[in-house]
Homo-oligomer: A and B are copies of this chain.
Amino acid sequence: MTDAVVVGAGLSGSLASVYLARRGFRVRVLERREDPRTPGAREAGRSINLGLSQRGIVALREIGLLDALKPATVPMRGRVVHSPDGTLRFQPYGTEEDQILHSVLRHDLNVALIDEAEKQGVEFHWGHKVTAVDRSNPSVTTASPQGTVEHAAHLVVGADGAFSAVRTQLGRGSRTTLHQEFLEWGYKELLIPVGDDGRPRTELAALHVWPGDDGLIVAHPNVDGSLTATVFLPFEGRDGFAGLDTPARVEEFFARRFPDTPTLIPDVVEQFLAHPPASLVTIRTEPWHVTTEHGRGVVLLGDAAHAVYPFFGQGMNSAFEDCSVLDRCLSAHPDDLPKALAAFERARRPHTDVLAELSKRNFVELRDKLRSPLFLARKKADLVLHRMFPRSWVPLYTLIAHTTVPYGEALARSRRQDRLLGGLTAALTGAALAGLAHRSRGRRGRRQVS
- Name A's B-contacting residues (CB within 8 A): 175-182, 235, 279, 281
Contact = CB atoms under 8 A, between A and B. Distances in A.
15 contacts: A175-B182, A175-B235, A175-B279, A175-B281, A176-B180, A176-B182, A177-B180, A177-B181, A177-B182, A178-B178, A178-B179, A178-B180, A179-B179, A179-B180, A179-B181
Nearest to A184: B175
A176 B162 CA distance: 13
Contacts of A178: 178-180
A231 to B, nearest CB: 18
A186 to B, nearest CB: 8
A175 B278 CA distance: 10
A385 B261 CA distance: 66
A209 B279 CA distance: 47
A177 B176 CA distance: 16
Contacts of A281: 175
A182 B235 CA distance: 32
Q: Which 9 A-B pairs have the closest CB atoms?
A: A175-B182, A178-B180, A179-B179, A177-B181, A175-B279, A178-B178, A177-B180, A177-B182, A176-B180
Contacts of A177: 180-182
Contacts of A179: 178-181
Nearest to A179: B179
Nearest to A279: B175
A177 B184 CA distance: 11
Given A177-B180, A178-B180, 12 more contacts: A175-B182, A175-B235, A175-B279, A175-B281, A176-B180, A176-B182, A177-B181, A177-B182, A178-B178, A179-B179, A179-B180, A179-B181
A175 B279 CA distance: 7
A199 to B, nearest CB: 40
A409 B195 CA distance: 60
A306 B266 CA distance: 49
Contacts of A279: 175
A31 B183 CA distance: 35
Nearest to A235: B175
A183 to B, nearest CB: 8
A279 B173 CA distance: 10
Contacts of A182: 175-177
A66 B179 CA distance: 39
Nearest to A180: B178
A315 B62 CA distance: 52
A179 B279 CA distance: 18
Contacts of A181: 177, 179
A281 B178 CA distance: 11
A184 to B, nearest CB: 8
A177 B178 CA distance: 10
A172 to B, nearest CB: 10
A178 B177 CA distance: 10
A396 B179 CA distance: 29
Nearest to A175: B182
A331 B119 CA distance: 68
Contacts of A176: 180, 182
Contacts of A180: 176-179
Contacts of A175: 182, 235, 279, 281
Nearest to A285: B180
A171 to B, nearest CB: 8
A180 B172 CA distance: 13
A182 B178 CA distance: 9
A288 to B, nearest CB: 15
A89 B182 CA distance: 48
A178 B179 CA distance: 6
